[in-house]
Amino acid sequence: MSVNSQLQNQSQTITSSTKQTPSFFVRWLRLLLKSKTGTIGLIIVLAVTLVAIFAKSLAPHDPNLINPAMMLKPPVWADGGSSAHILGTDNLGRDILSRIIYGSQISLAVGISAVALAGAIGVFVGLIAGYYGGLIDNILMRLVDSFLAIPTILFALVILSIFGPSVTTLIVVLGITNWVQYARLVRGEVLSIKEREFVKAAKSIGVRNNKIIMKHLLPNVISPFIVISTLSVATTIILEASLSFLGLGIQPPTISWGGILSDGRDYIATSWWLAAFPGMAITITVLAIIFLGDWLRDVLDPRANN
């Protein structure tokens, strides 16, 4: 066994010592249950995920079924409400609850895919910029500065207006507008990690650069990455809703929370439930993800915990 691989093993044990203990899930579960908000967050996130997966069997009605006889029915507890439509109906007589249930699919799918894309680009750029430094770093960081100077929503608007709104475009747009924060984070981490002994040792015995990046640097930036990604799913869900609200995100007949809200806005004076419930769905989901993210930060990144 060469010194090289021994070093690698050593660094891996340092970075992932928690992952190698046998009672991995038990330990995490215990840590999770210690935090009340973390537990609540996890339960809600799991619930929303399950709702999204089993939307078809959970929704009481076809979400796009137009029923003129049931137009603008208030929720069940209000005067004139019907138990067939617990959260009421919209201006076309469609069931709000069913629409919100189906809307969760798009919110989660877009949120998670966009963050995955942003993370992949950002981690790559951050690793390269942080490790190589010099001119490459300078160029990449000026690029990052430029992206930071353009508000995300503005950038997304411009791209969506050019390529036309669709789910794929939306994911790509949200992905490429969000990579900057990962690039900055990873670069910062790499700048300090590359000065540590194990990286210097690997370098001095001639380990190739891409191997150092993949085997020594990448595992060490995973923890902060997971924390930021979780919180980023929350902001991406809000951003998607905002774009759909502006009419540039998800297009009908695909159902999104932002879209339902946008439809409901015109009826705010007479039918408050149209806009109120989808907004609550967004708020509760995002809140749960933030709780979960904060808990993850406490567990994975003790330095950030003050």
- Taking CB under 8 A as the criterion, the residue among 176, 261, 292, 296 binding other proteins is 261
Please state the closest distance from residue 236 (CB atom) to other proteins, in A: 12
Q: x/- site string to other proteins, residues 112 to 151, per CB under 8 A?
A: ------------------------------xx-xx-xxxx
- DSSP conformation letters of 146-202: HHHHS-HHHHHHHHHHHH---HHHHHHHHHHHHHHHHHHHHHHHHHHHTTSHHHHHH
287 forms part of the interface with other proteins (CB under 8 A): yes
Residue 225 or 291 having the CB closest to other proteins? 291
Residue type, 68: P
Closest CB to other proteins among residues 125, 160: 160
Look-up: residue for tokens 């809140």? 287
Between 153 and 300, name the residue whose CB sits nearer to other proteins. Answer: 153
Query: Closest distance between other proteins and the C-beta of residue 178, in Å?
Result: 13
Residue 236's nearest CA partner among 128, 120, 112, 147 is 112
Distance of alpha carbon 226 from alpha carbon 203, whole angstroms = 27
Kindly determine how many residues on this chain lie close enough to bind other proteins according to the rule CB under 8 A: 41
- Under 8 Å between Cβ of 48 and 104: yes
Between 142 and 196, name the residue whose CB sits nearer to other proteins: 142
**Can you tell me which of 40, 136, 167, 290 binds other proteins, judged by CB under 8 A?**
290
Among positions 146-205, residues that touch other proteins (CB under 8 A) are 146, 148-154, 157-162
> Of 98 and 271, which CB lies nearer to other proteins in the complex structure?
271
Interface residue with other proteins among 87, 282, 292, 299 (CB under 8 A) is 282
Q: Which of 71, 218, 246, 300 binds other proteins (CB under 8 A)?
A: 246
**Selection from 255, 284, 276 nearest residue 61 by Cα:** 255
Token code pair at residue 22: 């046998």
Chain residues binding other proteins by CB under 8 A are 142-143, 145-146, 148-154, 157-162, 234, 238, 241-242, 245-248, 258, 261, 265, 268-269, 272, 275-276, 279, 282-284, 286-287, 290, 306
